[in-house]
Amino acid sequence: MNRRTAIHHAILISAGAVLVPSCLQHDKGVIALKKISLNRQQELLVESVTEAIIPKTKNFIGAKDLRSHEFVLTMVDDCLNPEDQQRFKDGLKAFDKLSHDKFGQLFTSYTAKQKHELLVDIENKKDIPDDALKFYETVKRYTVQSFTSSREYMTGIRKYKMVPGSVFKGCVKVV
């Protein structure tokens, strides 16, 4: 075997060693979290719930455009204690079961009207399990925080000014 063939085989083997583990992780979540682990379907559920809470309108962006679900999951991963993180995961499963029992399908495949109807029922606390309610309240709190701290909200809706006060007028004497 000559040197060129040996180098070619070594490159192919090392590339295969890098690619094979990534191909075997079908159900792993996309968002890198340190303390909790969610699969892709659960991440999509959180993304769908955040979009249902703050939907995109023709005049303004929604939670999906801001990637609020990533903010929610990062806050849960970084800021909640392990017991609350476990309650969040249990609530996610309870919310998924509740949504499946309500319309017989996954929340991610609901129409906008069905999502709105389920969220209204949760807001009114109509026969909602405590775990699912706690999950929804956590997602809603962090989604609103993500939205109201975004640059688009601060400049487009609140009309944030860097320096508070009235507009400076240099030709007027200050007394």
The rounded distance, in Å, linking the Cα atoms of 114 and 73 is 24
163 part of a folded domain: no
Per-residue pLDDT of the chain (175 residues; tens, 9 = 90+): 687 887 877 787 776 666 666 555 555 667 778 888 899 999 999 999 999 999 998 888 999 999 999 999 999 999 999 999 999 999 999 999 999 998 889 998 999 999 999 999 999 988 889 999 999 999 999 999 999 999 888 888 887 776 766 666 678 776 6
130 part of a folded domain: yes
Task: Supply the pTM of this predicted model.
Answer: 0.75
Q: How much is the pLDDT for 24?
A: 55
The rounded distance, in Å, linking the Cα atoms of 41 and 106 is 10
128 part of a folded domain: yes
169 conformational bin, left if phi > 0, alpha if psi -120 to 50, beta if neither: beta
* Residues 75 and 142 sit within 8 Å (Cβ to Cβ): yes
* Residues 38 and 29 sit within 8 Å (Cβ to Cβ): yes
Domain count, the chain: 1
167 part of a folded domain: no
Q: How much is the pLDDT for 5?
A: 83
Q: Which residues of 134-148 are buried (b: 16+ CB within 10 A; e: fewer)?
A: bbbebbbebbeebbe
Query: What is the domain range of residue 73?
Result: 26-156
Residue that has been written with the tokens 């792993």 in this structure = 28
Angstrom distances, CA of residue 124 to CA of 83, 117, 121, 150: 26, 11, 5, 28
Angstrom distances, CA of residue 136 to CA of 18, 19, 126: 39, 37, 14
Q: How much is the pLDDT for 84?
A: 95
11 part of a folded domain: no
Structure tokens at 98: 């509740």
The rounded distance, in Å, linking the Cα atoms of 89 and 174 is 59
47 part of a folded domain: yes
161 part of a folded domain: no
- Which parts of 67-167 fold into alpha helices (H)? 68-79, 82-103, 112-123, 130-148, 151-156
Which of 48, 35, 30 is CA-nearest to residue 92?
48
* Residues 76 and 85 sit within 8 Å (Cβ to Cβ): yes
115 part of a folded domain: yes
Q: How much is the pLDDT for 145?
A: 96
